[in-house]
Amino acid sequence: MGQSTPELPADTLVSAVDNARRGVVTHITIKGERVAAIVSESTLAMSQLLAALLTSEMAASALPAVLPTAFPWARSLPDDHLKAFAGELCEAVVAESPEQVERVLVDWQAVAEVRAGARST
């Protein structure tokens, strides 16, 4: 016999429905596992705005300078690495690919951590 599915409390189900109404049900990858997520309309609007901004050459050219503020671990990256990181991140954001954005962030954080570790030894 199959296992029975646990029932959700009524308030949890109502909350999930309300959240779905205010956002979009989508899938994201967290630590390699694909999970369903509800993304708020404001978060979607913000990501669309960021994607539109980064199609502007002027806005995209400012990205390397602001990355260390947004991601403190990026402070250990030299300018040429920051430019490469910014280019890859810009491509991922404009492509509207959360998985690609995550991969870029994870990869560059690993590079920054290796550089920071090399400096401290």
Tokens of 110: 């690993």
Distances (CA, A) of 97 to 4, 16, 56, 72, 117: 35, 24, 18, 23, 30
CA atoms within 13 A on the CB side of 115: 14
Tokens of 101: 């954005």
Beta strands in 17-115 (DSSP E): 23-30, 33-40
Residue 3, pLDDT > 60, answer no
Q: Convert the pLDDT of each residue in 30-88 to its tens digit.
A: 777 877 777 777 777 888 889 899 999 998 899 999 999 999 999 999 999 999 999 99
What distance in Å separates the CA atoms of residue 12 and residue 16, rounded to the nearest whole number? 6
Task: From 46, 47, 49, 43, select the one nearest 24 (Cα to Cα).
Answer: 43
More confident residue, 27 or 114: 114
- Look at residue 121 in the predicted model and tell me its pLDDT: 64
- The mean pLDDT of the chain is 82
> Residue 86: what residue type?
A
The separation between the first and the last C-alpha atoms of the chain, rounded to the nearest angstrom, is 58
- Whole-model pTM: value is 0.68
3-state secondary structure of 19: helix
For the chain, which residues make up each domain, given as ranges?
A: 10-120
